[in-house]
Amino acid sequence: MSLLKNKYLITANISWLVIYLFGRVIPTFSRVVYWNAFLALIAINLAIFLTSGLKISRWLKGILFTLWLLFQPNAFYMATDAIHMSDFTTIYQYPRDLRHFLNISRFTLLFLGISFGIWCGIVGIRLVVARYFNRTWQMRWLFYFSISVLTSIAVYIGRYGRLNSWNVITHPALSLQKILALPWITVAMFTLFFTFLQLAIIAVIEYCHE
């Protein structure tokens, strides 16, 4: 099957374009959503290219896999954007006011962004597992668990350490300094909860596709 006909590639890129165009007509706030969604788009596109069956060298596959590992947390990171839901506690305060329409629009954009990010994360990891880690169910779930733990730690670092995927490459020393300064007990608690969340979603999807 041609890569350009890949249903995940088409769905992901069209979905992001919709989020972007929707976000462009909403003043303030929206740039964060479609930028985070774009990083999630990069992650799933890397997973699609990595698992497309194209004839590429091992070292290029290694590079794509490493880049996917770096960007994969950006997909699930969007789940933490749910903290912005508190900004819409007055969503029904102005029922006949333009502010009500703007609040509804921003809420919708945020919901679409979060859903898109989680979808990219789930589809991406399942594509990689199906292609490279599917010999046994033990191998499959070990990979799911490992990536979920790493993703959870990376999401915490991104949300509270304010580091981006590329900072590991562009500013390795500063990135290490910020990582070591994190409260690791809190990181461990967050990792436990967020790993469970990811694995629960994956388990449901796996069960539905049996």
From the number of C-beta atoms within 10 Å of its C-beta (0-12, 13-18, 19+), residue 143 rates as: middle
> For residue 32, which amino acid is it?
V
Q: What is the mean pLDDT of residues 73-89?
A: 79
pTM above 0.75? yes
Can you read off the two tokens belonging to residue 199? 């694995």
178 membership: H or E segment, kind and range: helix 172-180
Alpha-carbon distance values, 26 to 21, 23, 88 (Å): 9, 5, 15
Quote the pLDDT of residue 18. 93
Sign of the alpha-carbon dihedral angle for 194, 199, 202, 207: negative
Distance CA(163)–CA(147), nearest Å, equals: 19
Q: Quote the strand ranges of 99-202, DSSP E.
A: none
Average pLDDT score over residue span 40-54: 92
Tokens of 135: 């010999």
Give the pLDDT band of residue 84 (cuts 50, 70, 90).
Answer: confident
Instruction: Map tokens 């994969």 to a residue.
Output: 72
How confident is the model over 24-34, as pLDDT tens digits? 877 666 678 88
Could you read off the pLDDT of 107-117 as tens digits, one per residue?
Answer: 888 889 999 99
107 burial type by CB count under 10 A (0-12 exposed, 13-18 middle, 19+ buried): middle
Question: Within the chain, how many helices (H) and strands (E) appear?
Answer: 8, 0
The domain locations on the chain are 3-208
